[in-house]
Structure formats: C-alpha cells, structure tokens
Chain A
Amino acid sequence: MTRRSSDDRFFRLATGAVAALVLLIVIGIGFELTRQSTMSIRKFGFSFWTGTTWDPVSGDFGARPFIWGTLYSSVLALLLAAPVALGIAIYISELSPRMLRQPLAYLTELLAAIPSIVYGLWGVFVLVPIIRKLELATPDFLKKIPLFKGPPLGVGMLAAAVILAIMVVPFTSSVAREILKNVPSAQREAAYALGATRWEAIKVAVGYGKSGIIGAIMLGFGRALGETMAVTMVIGNNPQVSASLYAPQYTMSAVIANEFTEAADELYLHALIEIGLLLFIITIGVNMISRLLIWSMKARANRKAISMPMLADEAVPA
C-alpha cells in the first residue's frame, strides 16, 4: 500500500516537473530574447513597433513593415484556408462514402508532412508564374482598387498568402474533422427527428462544434504566423506597408532568417532579435485571444443550454 502511494507521489512529481519545464522554457525564451535585444529596445523604444525604415547601413530599425506583412499574409491565408479546410472536414466526416474517409484524411494530413522548402520551390516554379499570369490579366477597372495596384511581378503578397493557405489547410481540417467526429450522434438524430434535411443536420453539427472549429482555425493562424521558408521564397522580401496583394512585402520570420547570418554589427543583431521578441509576443497574443474567444463562446453556449450540461465541452480539442 505504501509502495503504491509513493509510486503515485513520484509519478505526480515527475510529470509535474515536465509540465513546469514547458513553462520555464517559455519564460526562458522571453527572457533571453529581451536580454539579447536590450540595445535596440533602449535605442528605439516603442518606435521600433511603428518605424517603417529598416536600414542596416545607418543603423535605423523599425519593424512595422514586417509586422504588417506577417499579420496580413496570415489573415489572408486564413480567409483562403478556413472555408476549404472546413469543407474538407465536413465532407470527410459527414458526407463521403465510408471507404473514402481514411484515404482522404490520410492525404490531407500528408500535406502537413511536406517540408516547407518544398512548398517554397513549388511556389517559385509553379505558383508564381500562374499568379503572374493572373495579375497580367487583371481588368483595368480592378487595377484602380488599392488591393490590385502595382506591377505584375508574380512574387508578392498574393503568392505568399496562397502558399500559406495550402500549408495551413491540413492542420485546420484535421482538427475540425476530429471535432465533427466527436459531435454526439444524438445531435444529428435529434435534428433528423425534427425533419431536418442533411444540410440542416450538418449545420447543427457544425454549430455544436463551433468553438472547437474556431480553435482549429486559430491553430492554423498560429502556424501561418511563424512560417518562414516557403514565404520568403515567394513574398518578394521588400519591407513596405502596402494593402496591395501584388506588392512584394516581407515578414518577421523571413527577415530574421535572411539577415541573421551576416549581421555582424551589435545594434543590427539586437534589432533582429527584437523582431523575434515581437513575433513571440504577437504569437502569444494571438493564442490568448483565440483562447478567450473559445471560452466566451463556450460560456455563452452553456448559458443558453443549461438543460444540456455537456454541451460544447466535448467538442473542444484538448
């Protein structure tokens, strides 16, 4: 009996230590990033967030174009990827013949296993020429809208967003599929019992797993924020704040990957590490916001359906 309880205690301590390690690593990363960017933090302060110049020669650094590029490309990727991913998830879990389910799920997950450099190469050689053709074919009236301004280079925001979207789809769709699978069949049966069509029953299932699906989408967003290699190969790497989909732009992770090796100057190095710190903060921020979003949705759902205490909870990924 004593032996078992000491085993228990040991087990709890060991797993607790591992869990604490995760927390320590996160704090350690934050601390180290701050420590190694002190020069740039002292010199530029908050203007580092808002400055638009990135000039290693004169030592003038501002991160706004990179922050903009990262957020803009990720949001665009999300807008492209979310409907597709959700469509895949719904088809696989609700509509496809049983025989097709496993192969389809496997194929979408295979997309996630492709290294990003391969996506980048594919982007450079296949996607960019296609996008250039699209850009060349832009009708004149569209060119007046800021979204479609600029020369048809092929490389630029649009190419980056499309690549990112493709890379994000497998993550979002596989989590969304799991969530739909976990919707109790009582939900669907109830819908059918009330005379719902198949489409309406699916709507009920999706509505039931709503908070989990939002979580799946945010997971994809987090992935898009940090993606480096494929993006830098197609985005054009020009630090500018532009709403145009055709304009070459830049992202935070891309500038670190590109310039870190040759940065010999102290302030330059600190500025690059501060970009890393900003990316760290933004990623944490996005994750927190998505958590809050999910919590508030769950809370609302629970309030609405007190008679069903298990509602929503089951459908949220751990």
Chain B
Amino acid sequence: MKDFIIPDDRDMGTPAREGAPVTLTIDGFDVTVPEGTSVMRAAAEAGISVPRLCATDSVEAFGSCRLCVVEIEGRRGTPSSCTTPVAPGMVVNTGSSKVRKIRRGVMELYISDHPLDCLTCSANGDCELQDMAGAVGLRDVRYAAPEGGALDNHFEARNTSGDNHRYLPKDESNPYFTYDPSKCIVCSRCVRACEEVQGTFALTIEGRGFDSRVSAGNPFDDFLSSDCVSCGACVQACPTATLQEKSVVELGTPEHSVVTTCAYCGVGCSFKAEMQGDTLVRMVPWKNGKANRGHSCVKGRFAYGYAHHQDRILNPMIRDNITDPWREVSWDEALSFAATRLRGLQEKHGAKSIGVITSSRCTNEETYLVQKLTRAVFGNNNTDTCARVCHSPTGYGLGQTFGTSAGTQDFDSVEHTDVVIVIGANPTDGHPVFASRLKKRLRAGAKLIVIDPRRIDLVKSAHVEAAHHLPLRPGTNVAVVTALAHVIVTEKLYDEDFIRTRCDWEEFQAYAEFVSNPRHSPEMAEELTRVPAAELREAARLFATGGNGAIYYGLGVTEHSQGSTTVMGIANLAMLTGNVGRPGVGVNPLRGQNNVQGSCDMGSFPHELPGYRHVKLPEVRKIFEDAWGVSIDPEPGLRIPNMLDAAVDGTFKGLYCQGEDILQSDPDTKHVAAGLAAMECVIVHDLFLNETANYAHVFLPGSTFLEKDGTFTNAERRINRVRRVMAPRNGYADWEVTQLLANAMGANWTYTHPSQIMDEIAATTPSFAGVTYDLLDEKGSVQWPCNEDHPDGTPLMHVDGFMRGKGRFIVTEYVATDEKTGPRFPLLLTTGRVLSQYNVGAQTRRTANSVWHGEDVLEIHPHDAENRGLNEGDWVKLASRSGETSLRAHVTERVAPGVVYTTFHHPDTQANVVTTDFSDWATNCPEYKVTAVQVSASNGPSEWQEDYAAQAEQARRILPAAE
C-alpha cells in the first residue's frame, strides 16, 4: 500500500463560515476566525476540543446537549459554545471549575439512561458518549432506583416491575445498518443529518421529554418502509451505537483507513475505506472529498459486497466455441490462447478485423492502456467505449460550441446558483450526492425548472418544489430548448454584453433570427411538445432574469436522435443568458459512470487520440508514435455499432471488451447478440460472467476498484485517486492484465505501477501535462486542464474566454425522430434508472440493494392502464418494432398519459430488447429515450426471455478444473 497520510479530518463541531476575520481569546490563546464562526469551532481551530454530544460539523448547531457550555467574560451564565458566535475581543474560558461541574452533572444524567455494556457494544472504541464521559471525568452515577422499584430507563428489556414499556427492540430492517433505540441519547444528529445533509426528512424525534425517541417515518414505519434512502448520513452522524453499520457489528472497529474514490456514478465521491488488515469493514464518505464534501449514497456507502460475491470469477477461462462449457486454465494459457486467436484473425481477415471496447468503470490508466493496445499493438483505431451510448453528444456538442468536451463547473458551484434547469436527468436517483447538494441550495431559496417527461422526485418532495415542470413528450427536447431561446431572444432578455464580448456577434445574429421565427414560439411548439406555452414562457423568463443560472443535464438529453443538437441548444441558452465562466452558472453534464469522463479523455473514441485530438492530425500522431515507437493508423476506426454491423457482415472478427456489458447495456439486444455470435474471438475482461460473456471465448477475471491503484475522472473533470486497499483476488489488477495480453502479442510493455502510465499520459496529453501521483496526493484531486498555465487544475472553465476563442451559437432545428408512434405502437417508452441499482446492475444486483429494487417494472399512467385492463403488479408484455419482453406494471401518475417508463438494471427483463437502433446524427449515441411501444396483458416471461435464460444458463457452464 502506498503511504498516504490522511490530512486533518477532525470534527470541528460546527460548519465552517465565510466572513471577515474576528479575533478572540480562548483559554488565553488568541484565535482569528471568520465572522459567524461558533466559539466551539474557534476553540477547535486553536486545538482545544470543547466537550460536546449534539454538535458535529456536518450539521448546524443545535444547542441541546448542554455539554459544551463555556464561560465568557462579561456575559451572564454559561452559554453553549456551539450556538454562540464569536465576537471581537471576546474572552472565553472553556475549562472553568463551574463549567466542569455542569458538564459532569449533564453527563451523569445521560449515563443514568444508558446501558453500561461498553465492552460488548459495537461502538466500543468509536463512541463519542464514551469519549465524553472520559473527557468530563465522570466517575459515579448517583441516580439510583427508588426503593422497591426500578430506575425509569429505555434500555432494560425487563426490570423488576416486569416488561419495561419504554424499551424498544432493535430495528434491523435496513440491510446495512441497525437502529437500537436503547443506545440513543436523543441528540438529533441523525434527524438533522437526514434533513440538512441528505435532504430526505425521513427521520424525526417522536414524543417529548423523556419519551423522545428517534422515529423513521410515522408509528407504522420501520427504517425500510420509511422514506429513508439509506445514504448513511445518519449513521455517520450518530455518536453512539444507536445507528451502526451491520458490518461493524459483525467485524468490530477498523484499525486503518485509506482514502479512495467510489466506483459507481460520475459524481466521484471520495471515501475512506476503513480496514482491518485486508478486510474492508466499511466505506465512510471523506469530508475533505471535494466532489461529495463528506456525503454519500447507498451505493458507494454500502454496496461494495459484490467484491466478495460468490459469482465473481477468479480464474481465467477459455473455450473453443460459445456452445462449449468454460474451461478454467492458467493465465499463461488463457493469454496465449487469446493472443494466438487474435493474431490469427488479423492474418486471415486483416489488421482491422479486431478491436477493443474500453471501460468507463476502470481507471484512466487502464483505459489508456486498452486504447494503446489497439493503436500500438493491433495497429488500428478500433476502440470505443460506453460513452458512445451515453454522453458522446456532450463531447461533440460542447466541443463545437465552447471548445471543450466537458462540463464547465465544479460541484461546489451549485452553492452559488439561483436558478437551476434540470433537463433529462433524475439526480436524486442517478447522482444522489449531487442531488443532496442541489436540494440544500433549493431549500435556501434557489429556483428550479425541471424539463422531463416524468414527474421526478425533484419536481416535488419534502421542502423542494420545482417552480416550473415542463413535462415534454419524449423526443422533443430540441423544440423545447429552442422555444426557451425564442422567448429569451424575442423578449430581449439576453445578456448582450456577454454575447458581444464573449461570443461571435455575427453568428449570434444569425441564430437570433432563426429562433425568433414564430414557428419556434412556445405556442407553436406546444403541439409537438405538449408543454403548456404559458408555463414555458414563465420558465424562460425565470432562467433569463433570476440571477445565476445553471443547467444540469443527463442522458435524457443525449440519448436521442438529436442528442448533440440538444446539447448545443443548452450551450446556446447558457451563452444567451451570460451564464458561463463564474461560480453558480454553467453547463453541467451529469456523467453516468465513475470514469466515463476519463475514458473519453483517454482517447477511447475511434477518431480521437488522448486529449480529444483527431487521429488524422500528423503532429498528434507523431507524439504518440515517438512515445510508443510504432506508426499509428491515420484512419478513424469503428464505433461500437459499426463493429457489430461489421461482425454481422463478417469483416470484424475479434473483440477485447474490458469492464462493460454491451449485450445488456446497448440498444437492440438481438442485433448485439447477432454481432457477438458472429465473432470468432470475444475476450471479456470482467468481474462476473456478464451477459456479453455468454458470447465470449476467453474470460479474463477483473479486479475491483478496491484492488488497484489508479485515477478516476468525474463529471466535473476532477481527477481523483483510486488506492489499492487489498490484493487483487484474481491475481492481477486490470492494467496488469491488459499489459500481459499486449505482451503476449509481442508488445514488450514494462509498466510496474499505474503512476508510470499517468506519467506517459501527462507527457503526451497537454490537458494532463501537470498531473502526477505526487500532485494528487498533495492536493487530494485536481480538475483538468492541469498544466503550466493551470498548475493546480481548473475548477471553472471559460472564465475569461471560451477555450475555442469565441463562443459559437449553432442553429438547432428540430427534426422529429424516425421512431414514431402509430396504431400498432401508440405509446412512447423512455428508460432510466433507480437509486439503489447502477447501470446493468452487475455490481448492485449482487448486494443487498436489491431489497429496494428487485426487478424492473413498467411505469404506466392510470389512464393507459385502464384502457388496457391492467392493474398494479400485473405481468405485461412490452413490445416495439425491435422486440418484446415482459415485466410487471406499476400504475402511477408520475408518467404522463401516452408515456411509459422502465429501468434496465435486470438482465431477465432486458429492456433493451425493445429499444431500437436509431441514434444521434452526429455521434451514433443510441436513442434509448424514445421507443414506440405497445403494452398489453401477459401471463409471464416472453418466449424470447425464456430462450435467452436457457441460452445464458448453457453459456455459463464451467467444467470442473482438471486436477
């Protein structure tokens, strides 16, 4: 393990403040802190820890425990230091005999209602109540039971007078943590964390006085049935064993920790992996993490159990034909089998007959090596990545308008925003930690505009309500965005100064003329989009005039036949309103996977070398040719859909697919299956026998993010370190496996640590020129570009000017998708995901997260359900022009009439059997979000599903290893 000293992450008691400096004296020491800071935090800055129980720096001070009292010269009484703000010249005494006595008395009362089972308590050694009892010098508890009776308490299940009516048993309903009311000191930290940090408001204190207890939801709820989203903020805030991770109950407290980065969504949360030896005890969000600021969601916090799931494959396997069972073999045998086959295919069918798919879940270094494998060893540019099917239009659209293929802000920016447009994204499910930060800002008064066919949680949930929800018909994003621009331009709400100085004025005028045309008015668009024109006008005015305007968008923008056009339309809106280049504004794609930004940066696309430089440019090729000692093909290679088409045509024969399940995640499953089946050497490099592996000839076991060093780049371009906390159970980290395969094909690569790969990336790619592992260890993380001009990275892009020079307005004409509803397929299907599951579910389905989402369901409006005689929970057949599948119906008004919605987390549903192969005009990003479908009653799984399940079972047979 690499040495890494965790910087100071003490609990300072109350949150930090920004303000003019104030100097005061605490226990004889002068301290200078920002105005508004609490006396408690000021003391902590001076190294003095005032005893406390109800204060923690993730939530605002509450002043209920009365342990943190201090004396202040010239003031009466003993104010609580957590709720008392500093004042200039204040003289504070934190340890007078008076406050000592008060604290000891308070502590005595707390302990009189707390069980003294510390030695066998799961929080032993990690309990603030225990620490504070020590800190105040509690030696005796004088409260005794009255004669013949028992002391009133919450912790004895039985006492001398029979059952203790105050005693409540443990609530073990949540799969990851327990709630033990008998240990609760009613400090409200959990309730406040749920409200302030997570923003779900699932917890409360019920009753009053001695009757007070924490309650999840109402009296009929337990934690699982409540609104709780299992983010872990309450568990993190709890000072005792009341809310405790089940893993700690089972294993005990951790002895060391390593800071690393979550491998789920594109938020890229920093975590402390808390360990006992090489056993992971728990993942705890790291408060110095700049993406998450100490918060987490159920996936990163708890859903890591897949690393030790029994389904994980740890030995390489090969087979001659996909109809054979797998044979476990040595690494040498597997690699030489693969190398021989690939070389053989190239000899027979040409150098371009094989390719790779890089993984957006692997590290930058691993992705870089995989694209290098195809460019330097295979000798072609046949590399693509899952960004093809998610955010490739972002890369293209923002590249065209602004000059960089990435979001413009950091996540901290949301704290300064006044009006937020969320379009085609469902942050509370897809990017939960960002959603919590957004909701916090909304509760502080920022306004929200949601553009989404579904009524997502952000439209209305506790204490958050969108000012405008524009429930558009799927597929009409461009019309809506252009109509917004129409209002802003025709009502002269645009920021002329900004446009004149920062953008091309001529282009703006052409654009303004285009959008001013009455056919783009909200009234004309309404017919197409079904968005009420008045509402749209109000939304446009709010965004243009409401202060700092930020746009956050997701796959509901990109995964359309006009995905790239919508991205450009969004960029136009930001430029029109002058919302680029400062905190609180910007265009922010919410990237789906942990390293999808990084995999794009690393040259995963067939036409681009690392750093988004076209492969046709000789000067760029030369950099890599010199570094790698090979010549690089100047012709762009094949995209994923082209690879599959070519495979069906018989010209593409071999594929190395790392950490991705194209069969489940890519559209039109039947076409993908046909393409894979036509190949002669499919190498799947993954943790599990995924759906794609059903068509593979070589299986190379992968390693988890816990088992390797590297970096992930999140949605805000932040390069975060991934640190190895345990040895790879399969024997090799993924970068080592790629290197072994390359060397088996004669490459002679000699990397011994991923830092050497990063050095090569930095040497060849200008936006990464300043990145080294030493810098990342020092800074924690940096946002690219990180180079001579920006040695500490770039939190905000386009501050003084656009990367491409002048911002470019591009005309965004709405063109209806070819996927149209009609009498046979009258409904529109759109797809998405849920909080507890991630992507194809390979990881999360192998954790207890499935208690929240055990199967994909079809959301359908009551009106459409009634027309078809469907009830809640019925099996229904979902059919499109491409295929059909069956799943259960959920009748809900979240979707509009005419629209149905499902997720794609479960392979036995295979929602992508239904989706079509229509795609974005510029980037081939598939049109997942619009499919014309019909829904009808069904008796159970479709014939296709049964055939598929049978084939999968056949394909997954493994012969016992030869002795």
Chain A partners chain B: no
Residues of chain B at the chain A interface (Cβ within 8 Å): none
